[in-house]
Amino acid sequence: MTIDEIKIGGMGASRRRVEDNRFIRGRGNYVDDVVLPGMLHMEILRSPLAHARIRSIDVSKAWEIPGVRLVLTGDMMATRNLAWMPTLSYDTQAVLATDKVRFQGQEVAAVIADDPYIAKDACEAIVVDYEPLPVIVNPMQAMADSAPLIRDDKENQPDNKVFDWEVGDREATERAFAEADVVSKLELHYPRSHPSPLEPCGSIADFDRSTGKLTVYMTTQAPHIIRAAVALVAELPEHMIRIISPDLGGGFGNKVPVYPGYVISILASILTERPVKWIEDKTGNLISTGFGRDVYLQGEMALRKDGRILGVRMHTISDHGAFFSDAQPSKFKIGLMHSAFACYDIPSAHLTATGMYTNKAPGGVAYRCSFRVTEAMFFQERMVQAAADDLGMDQAEFRRVNFVRDDDFPHRTAFGFLTDSGQYGKCLDVGLEAIGYEQFLKDQEEARKKGRLLGIGISTMTEPLGAGNSREYDILGIKMFDSAELRVHMTGKAILRTGAKTQGQGHETTWAQIVAHELGIPADDIVVEEGDTDTAPFGMGTYASRSTPVAGAAVAMVSRKIRAKARKIAAHLLEVSEEDVEWELGRFYVRSQPDRGVTIQDCSMAAYSNVPDGMEPGLENTAYYDPPNLTWPFACYIATVEVDPETGVWDVLRMVAVDDCGVRINPMIVEGQIMGGLTEAYAMASMQFITFDADGNCVGSNYMDYLLPTAWETPGFELHEVVTPCPHHPIGAKGIGECATVGGPAAFVNAVMDAVKHLGVRNVDMPMLPDRVHQAVTTGSDVSGMPPVRTDAP
């Protein structure tokens, strides 16, 4: 009997998330839930100042507090060569400050005590004598000749520059601009934002001197990379390090970098010979861990009168904070910023990028994003709207004229990426139809006559998801591929492990669906495990929506290896040659006699009890998958808004999303990913404001100031789909996790700009707070979000 794939929870089944059984019952097992015998607690003392020389640190009073077991300063870390650590971008970062503090919230000392409250009290007893220094809060200030040098710890660092980088064809682009009928320009700031996962970062280090083994429970999205980093930094043998990343309460890129707290807890455990737990509080997370974005983008577009784009020039100035510590492929200094304009057929493009140090916490982490594609796509879609306006052309039509056509794949972009599939025009059409585009334009016209400000914003984009391949993509030279190990037990139940690490995306559910699709084993019979470096095969972890494109592909490939062995066993059981054996989901049968067959479960039983002569028993295997290309999902997001000219408040009237992420493994989970992503996009566009005053104080260091939208504020989303299978992925899937966060913000901003452009406004930087929009409406001019600079400062 043919198996119904949806019934067994295979591909395309909106199977309920199995992990939610424990999450909604409060049975999740997060780092802070782990309690080890004899465990001590660590608290970190952070700098109140953004830039200051440390004259002295007096820890004597802290040591006097009963229950204090250890007080660590940078000087003590230095005796172990651990005061500084390498970052994932070939820079160095202070673990505990020795010479200077370089941002507010930087780690200055740590106390390890019997409980966290004693440790916190003891931190307050530490006296640090600071000599304040001039503060730099934006990269333009950092470029000034008279700017103080932030990284005076580094040899050969005469200024505050992190890098200069360029890509594209300068000469061809110049020629395009010489031929242009119209040149359109745009400048904007993509503000700092914080991924702010529900669970902050933390670790429990447990060094066992008797075995020499170090076990660390850690909030990390990439346990194997962390194992390698710990081996290098702490000079411990890699096989004696076990990183366990248990349930994570969200990550969004925030849990990729290596944080000082992890390193300090490890040294503290080695010194005290006790497990040491460190859990940061929310403010600690907001002010000191990896921020996203903070890029100033300038661009120009060379246009022909008929609407064709001839060339694009872009320049970015990024604010990296005090240490260049975001993870990105070593070839690409500003991440995948040059993926901008990939869905448009543009003959030439040139990008220059400058990265600067400032007195802020490290920035540039890829917040629900593949290495800066969020900034790239935001700029792209803001620029496209500005160009359409400058040409006096309909914004939908301008996109359609310039899209890469369906029959033009594979397509080499002007920046050198190879896009391989998509139906861009179709997605746009579905979106326009759903929102009622033509009718809205009429309504907008009528409303404007009555003084009402309606706007419609479109954002269309393809983005590169799923780093590797290993030829192009690496972190610290570690090549980007991924893995899966599948063990099918005697009774046909199975355990699957991958090198990825879910943070709430539902891998436990969807990976089992891929196995079910490939082998016909019901998804409920497969348990999925991730995050333990002692048991999971090596992998690069989960970020950049790489799980499905890379680890998900490995799951399909390992299942096929299992099927290939099971086929031999089936031939043996059916007493025919392998060539005479056919496969249908969950069952092998004899070609000439379809009724004579054996199930995959029959084969797994035989794998342990009745294998053909000369065959190794067992039914397990591992696959490492190095993708030939990134996957290129496409999205079309369209928002309509009404702006209140009296208050600057803008309401979302409707939001339509059309996503093409190739074959959908679990449609319900995909829709959840899109809704979550659009919520974050709306948050960034409307309310998330985390900035710095002229003295480098972080404004937005708590959730009264830095706002996360609740269901009350979040608009409704109307979701639609188009499916263009990925040509190289074994099951045709493309990534989806970050599409809506990446593409969503421009739809909201374009909509508000569309509502006010007739007043002479071209750009209001995010977040589009009511006062900014009100200022734009009343003055008819742009509003910049650049943080203030002290006029008396250099």
Residues in contact with ligand CDP by CB under 6 A are 505-507, 510, 542, 545-548, 552, 661-666, 669-670, 673, 733-737
Distance between CA atoms of 680 and 62, rounded to whole angstroms?
41
Tell me which H or E stretch contains 495: strand 494-498
Q: Supply the minimum distance, in Å, between the C-beta of residue 541 and ligand CDP.
A: 9
The set of residues, in sequence order, having a beta carbon less than 8 Å from that of 534 and lying 6+ positions away, is 242, 244
Closest approach of Cβ 66 to ligand CDP, in Å?
46
- Smallest gap, in angstroms, from Cβ of residue 548 to ligand CDP? 3
Q: Give least dist CB 517 to ligand CDP, A.
A: 11
For 434-463, b/e burial (b = at least 16 CB within 10 A) is: bbebeebeebbeebeeeeebbbbbbbbbbb
Active site residue 151: no
Contact 403, 382 (CB under 8 A): no
Identify the residue whose tokens are 């972190």.
Answer: 475
The active-site residue out of 485, 738, 739, 772 is 738
Q: Please report which helix (H) or strand (E) contains residue 667, including its range.
A: helix 667-686
Q: Which is nearer to ligand CDP, 265 or 547 (CB)?
A: 547
R_g (Cα) of the chain, nearest Å: 27
Closer to ligand CDP at the Cβ: 505 or 559?
Answer: 505
We find the least distance from the C-beta atom of residue 737 to ligand CDP, in angstroms, to be 3
Pairwise CA distance, residues 672 & 735, whole Å: 13
Any idea which residue has 């660390």 for tokens?
Answer: 216
Pairing outcome for strands 650-660 and 593-599: unpaired
Which residue number, 546 or 774, has a Cβ lying nearer to ligand CDP?
A: 546
As measured in angstroms, the least distance from the Cβ of 220 to ligand CDP is 14
Q: Is 43 a catalytic residue?
A: no
CB atoms within 10 A of CB 176: 25
Which residue's Cβ has the minimum distance to ligand CDP?
737
- Report residue 190 as tokens: 């993509």
Q: Which amino acid is at 191?
A: P
Q: Check: CB of residue 573 under 8 Å from CB of residue 282.
A: no
| Residue 740 Cβ vs ligand CDP, minimum distance, rounded to whole Å | 11
Nearer to ligand CDP, 700 or 730 (CB): 730
Quote the CA–CA distance of 262 and 277 in Å, as a whole number. Answer: 9
Q: How far is the CB of 736 from ligand CDP (least distance, A)?
A: 4
Q: Which residues contact 4 (CB under 8 A, 6 or more apart)?
A: none
Q: Any idea which residue has 């808004």 for tokens?
A: 641
Q: Which is nearer to ligand CDP, 104 or 673 (CB)?
A: 673
Q: What are phi and psi of 747, to 5 degrees?
A: -65, -45
| Least Cβ distance, residue 222 to ligand CDP (angstroms) | 11
Asked if 369 is an active-site residue, the reply is yes
The per-residue DSSP string of 331-366 comes to: T-TTTTGGGTTTTB--SEEEEEEEEE--SSS---B-
Active site residue 343: no
Return d(Cα 746, Cα 754) in angstroms, integer: 12
Catalytic site residue from 201, 369, 603, 698: 369
**What does the H/E/C string look like for 555-582?**
HHHHHHHHHHHHHHHHHHHHCCCHHHEE
CA separation for the pair 84, 257 (Å, rounded): 15
User: Residue 777 in 3-state DSSP?
Assistant: helix
Question: Minimal distance in Å, beta carbon 340 to ligand CDP?
Answer: 20
Pair of tokens at residue 148: 């103080």
Q: How far apart are CA 606 and CA 116, in angstroms?
A: 55
Contacts of 517 (CB under 8 A, 6+ apart): 5, 10, 11, 556, 585, 731
CA–CA distance, 663 with 159 (Å, rounded to integer): 49
Provide the minimum distance between the beta carbon of 120 and ligand CDP in the complex, in angstroms, as a whole number: 34
CA-to-CA distance for 381 and 371, rounded, in angstroms? 18
SS3 content of the chain, % helix, strand, coil (to 5): 30, 25, 45
Distance CA(172)–CA(311), nearest Å, equals: 8
**Residues 598/570, Cβ–Cβ less than 8 Å:** yes
Please tell me which residue in 93, 106, 141, 221 is annotated as part of the active site.
221
* Catalytic sites, residue numbers: 221, 368-369, 738
